[in-house]
Amino acid sequence: MYFITSNEGKFREAKELAAKYSVEVKWLKMEYIEPQGNSLEEIAKLSAEMLAEKVDGDFVIEDSGLFVEALKGFPGPYSSYVFKTIGNEGILKLMKGEENRKAYFKAVVAYFDGKDVHIFTGMVSGEIAREARGAGGFGYDPIFLYNGRTFAEMETEEKNRVSHRRRAFEKLFMWLKEKD
């Protein structure tokens, strides 16, 4: 199957995991305009339906975001835009003086099998740090605390073992295996 994404890091993570399930994932490097929606599930489903008109064969896409409890789930489906605008410093500012630091990452994987779209989700819970820490990873990793360290302070492999993306893709690959 093709993984349609412009993000190489996402592709590599999915490819490595796929190999463990004997699934071959190829990179279709492509940027597409995401339809608007109020949930990651809705956006992923609409995106997959739109891409199904253009791409031959089966493919997968992934949409993810950070959900902060004290901010009522913000930035959620708007994570990409918020990261590009106010970024990690902006989130830390919004969280100043806030004691409830609970947050989670969520990933939604939409797989088009040539006929229908199937949705799989994965989550990882953690907390918003009080300051950005670590040089690894990408996006919100420096402010996302998991068991006392930020995702940006972990080795890629260590983060990938518990990531929301891994959990979502794992569900897809297990589902494909069971179907065989």
Residue 52 vs 110, nearer CB to ligand IMP: 110
Crossing angle of helices 8-20/164-179, nearest 10°?
A: 40
Considering the complex, what minimum distance in angstroms separates the CB of residue 40 from ligand IMP?
Answer: 8
The β-bridge relationship of strands 2-5 and 59-68 is: parallel
Per-residue b or e along 27-36, where b marks 16 or more CB atoms closer than 10 Å to that residue's CB: bbeeeeebee
Residue nearest to ligand IMP (CB): 139
Nearer to ligand IMP, 72 or 179 (CB): 72
Active-site option among 58, 63, 113, 116: 63
Nearer to ligand IMP by Cβ, of 94 and 180: the residue is 94
Quote the least distance from Cβ 134 to ligand IMP, whole Å: 11
63 is catalytic: yes
Closer by beta carbon to ligand IMP, 80 or else 125: 80
Q: CA 96 to CA 99: how far, in whole Å? A: 9
Q: At its nearest, how many Å lie between ligand IMP and the CB of residue 142? A: 9
- 95 close to 75: Cβ distance less than 8 angstroms: no
Binding site for ligand IMP (CB under 6 A): 7, 63-66, 79-80, 83, 105, 137-141, 151, 163
Q: Which phi and psi (to 5°) does residue 165 adopt? A: -65, -45
| Residue 97 DSSP symbol | T
Q: How far is the CB of 133 from ligand IMP (least distance, A)?
A: 13
Q: Say if residues 162 and 145 touch (Cβ distance below 8 Å).
A: no
- Token couple for 161: 């073992």
- Active-site residues: which are they? 63
